[in-house]
Amino acid sequence: MEHALNYLSYNGQGGGDGGSGRWAIMMGLLLLAVLALEYFLPKQPADQTPQGQTEQVQAPGDAAQAVPVSVLYQIEPRTLSTDSYDLTLTNAGGGRISSFHLKKPDRYFEHGDYIRSQKPEVDSKGGILPLEVTFPAFGIGPETQFKTVSDAGDSKQARFLYTDVNGNYEFEKIFAVTDDPYVVHVKFRLTNRSSQALADNMAISMYIKQIEGEEPGLFTPGSYVAAKCHSGGAMKYLDATDKDKEKTFDSKLNWFAVDESYFAIAMTADHGMSCEISNNKDGLLRSRLNTAVTIHPNETLTYSYDIFMGPKEARYLSFGEPQDKNLQLDSIIDYGFMEVLAKPMAWILDKFHEWTGNWGLAIIILTLIVRILLWPIAQKSQVSMSRMSKIAPLMQEIQEKYKDDPATMQQKQIELYQKYKISPFGCLPLLIQMPIFFALYRCIFVTGGLYRAPFFGWIQDLSARDPYFILPIISVLLLLGQQLLMPSTTKNKQQKIMMFAMPIIFGLMMLWLPSGLCLYMVISSLFSIVQSYYVRRMIAREEDIVPADGSSDAADVIDVENLSSKDKRAAKRREESQKT
- pLDDT tens per residue, range 35-44: 444 444 444 4
Q: Is the pTM of this model over 0.85?
A: no
Q: How far apart are CA 564 and CA 460, in angstroms?
A: 67
Q: Is 486 a residue whose pLDDT tops 70? A: no
Quote the pLDDT of residue 468.
Answer: 94
- Which among 460, 472, 482 has a CA at the least distance from the CA of 529? 482
Q: Is 219 a residue whose pLDDT tops 70? A: no
**Mean pLDDT in residue range 145-171:** 94
Quote the pLDDT of residue 5.
Answer: 38
What CATH topology corresponds to 67-334?
A: Beta-galactosidase; Chain A, domain 5 (2.70.98)
**Mean pLDDT in residue range 438-446:** 90
Q: Which helix (H) or strand (E) holds 566?
A: helix 565-579
Least confident segment among 389-393, 403-407, 446-450:
389-393
Q: How far apart are CA 508 and CA 448, in angstroms?
A: 27
**Mean pLDDT in residue range 215-236:** 83
Task: Kindly report each contact of residues 440-443 with a partner whose C-beta sits within 8 Å and lies 24 or more positions away, as own/partner.
Answer: 440/342, 440/345, 440/363, 440/366, 440/516, 440/517, 440/520, 441/513, 441/514, 441/517, 442/335, 442/336, 442/338, 442/342, 443/335, 443/342, 443/345, 443/346, 443/349
Share of the chain above pLDDT 70, in %: 76
Beta strands, E only, 312-368:
none
Q: Encode 353-385: b = buried (16+ Cβ within 10 Å), e = exposed.
A: beeeebbbbbbbbbbeebbeebeeebbbbbbbb
Quote the pLDDT of residue 213.
Answer: 75
**Mean pLDDT in residue range 434-452:** 89
Task: Sort 246 into a burial class: Cβ within 10 Å, 0-12 / 13-18 / 19+.
Answer: middle
Give the three-class secondary structure for 412: helix
Quote the pLDDT of residue 552.
Answer: 46
Task: Count CA atoms within 13 Å of residue 81 on its CB side.
Answer: 7
**Rounded to an integer, what is the distance from CA 460 to the centroid of its chain?**
22
Quote the pLDDT of residue 542.
Answer: 62
Q: How many helices (H) and strands (E) does the chain have?
A: 13, 19
Q: Is 1 a residue whose pLDDT tops 90? A: no
- pLDDT band at residue 574 using 50, 70 and 90 as cut-offs: low
Quote the pLDDT of residue 12.
Answer: 39
Q: Which residues, in sequence order, are bridge partners of residue 400?
A: none
Q: Encode 489-514: b = buried (16+ Cβ within 10 Å), e = exposed.
A: beeeeeeeeebeeebeeebeebebbb
Quote the pLDDT of residue 10.
Answer: 34
Quote the pLDDT of residue 223.
Answer: 80
Quote the pLDDT of residue 9.
Answer: 35
- pLDDT band at residue 555 using 50, 70 and 90 as cut-offs: very low
Q: Is 15 a residue whose pLDDT tops 60? A: no
Domain spans in the chain, listed from the N-terminal domain onward? 67-334, 342-540
Q: Is 32 a residue whose pLDDT tops 90? A: no
Which of 26-30, 50-54, 133-137, 508-512 has the highest average model confidence (pLDDT)? 133-137
Mind spelling out the 3-state secondary structure of 446-480?
HCHHHCCCCCCCCCCCCCCCCCCCHHHHHHHHHHH
Quote the pLDDT of residue 411.
Answer: 85
Phi then psi for residue 226, to 5 deg, are -160, 160
Q: Which residues, in sequence order, are bridge partners of residue 264?
A: 259, 310
Q: Is 577 a residue whose pLDDT tops 90? A: no
Tell me the per-residue pLDDT of 268-313, one tens digit each, with 9 for 90 and over.
998 899 999 999 988 999 999 999 999 999 999 999 999 999 999 8
Q: Is 553 a residue whose pLDDT tops 90? A: no
